[in-house]
Structure formats: structure tokens, C-alpha cells
Structure 1
């Protein structure tokens, strides 16, 4: 999973993907890094799900080195309402929010996730483990 944000940085995005698949990108040229990444991602022995989060404008994923041939679906995950976000947060965090002293903090944390399902799930799981 890579957070793209408003000002996408191609080298950073490539670097984060490469790090997750344990690939060391040689060189500094975007096209070279693109080729290395594409070669690794198209390896027939690996199945990789790439999630690009917080994409705010069109992004040319081919120029990043992300092949699209094997993609079966492209999904846009919308934001959840505050109520649905809280329900998802409670489901993922478990008994943590049953403690009355933690309820207000848990609601604030859930609200900070701005209705983004991936953020809610990630934060809730981290809290559950602590």
C-alpha cells in the first residue's frame, strides 16, 4: 500500500513498492526504475496486490512500472459516513472500545481517519495489538 497524496512523487512511489517486494532499484532514471519494477511485478511466480491510497488526480501507473495486464479489477473505495466508519472501527478494534474510559478517545481516533476504510482498518488493528 502506497499513499500517493496531492503531489505524487514517482520515485517515492516506486521506492515504496520496491521496498515492499524486496527489490533494490538500481539507478536514478525513472524509466530504468520503471523497467526493473515492471519486470519484478510481472514475474509469473508472484501475485501482488498494489493499493494506491489517497490518489487525488490521474496517475499514469504504467510510467511507474505497474503493469495493468494482470489487473482484473480497478476499484475506487469511497469514504464512509461517520456512522459506518464508527461501526467498521468497532468491528476491527474489538473489546478495546468497551472500556468507558477509552470510548471518547476511540471515537476521536476513528473520526481522524476521515471515513477512509483502509485508514480505519489499519489504525484499529494497531490499537487492537497494543
Structure 2
């Protein structure tokens, strides 16, 4: 079973503004054979195509006051859309819960360049009304 994944992504940081985006597409050859072998029927089947992406916008509030390498405080918004059943094989149906949209609002704080603390709230919606909202706190270290 062959799989192809294509993505396009980019990032720009200009005068305190931070823009990021990504789009990805996955195609799976012979998803029907996989579904038959694993007894997957209806909306439980593996899709022939999956796709999704996000765009994010932020602004470093400390960009005009701190030196390069100084602390960073960036509130941001992020919009994501992921469809894990973008195209189903003939004879299979889509699940209402597989096309998800997330709207995220949060901030990241970098007291030093290699350490980040992120806090955000994600609102998740889909046609099945089964999306789970979440509040996240993360600590990261780059080495």
C-alpha cells in the first residue's frame, strides 16, 4: 500500500509579527484492500485522501523594547482545519466527526531563547458536535 504526503509550509517574523502556515495532503493507494483486510466498513474505513492545515498570527509585545535574544511575549491566534476522511473509497461513508476545525487563542513566553512556556485555549468543532475543547499549558526547551 503506497502513501504520498505533500505539504507546504512557511513562516515569517517581521518587526515583532509572527506569521506561520501549513497545508498537508495525504493520499493512500488501495485503501479498499486495507479496509477489507481489517474488516472496516461504513464510516470506520480508511480514507483515500486526508488533508488539513493551519494559519497562525502573533505579535511579540516585547519586540520594540527588548534586545535581540531578550525575553519574548507573543499572544497569538491559530486557525486549524483537518479532514481525515477528505475522500472515502466507493462504498464507504464519511464520519461526521472527521472534519475538525480548531480555533486557538493563547500566548508564548520565552524568558531566554531556548525556553518557552505556552498557554492556550482550543475550541474544537465538527459536524458530529463531538469536538472537545481544551486548555493547554506547555513547557519547552530547545537544545
Query: In proportion to residue count, which structure has more strand?
Result: 2
**Greater Rg by CA:** 2
> Normalised by the size of structure 1, how large is the TM-score?
0.22
> When the two structures are superposed, what TM-score results if normalisation uses the length of structure 2?
0.21
Determine which structure has greater relative contact order: mean sequence separation of CA pairs < 8 Å that are 6+ residues apart, divided by chain length. Answer: 1
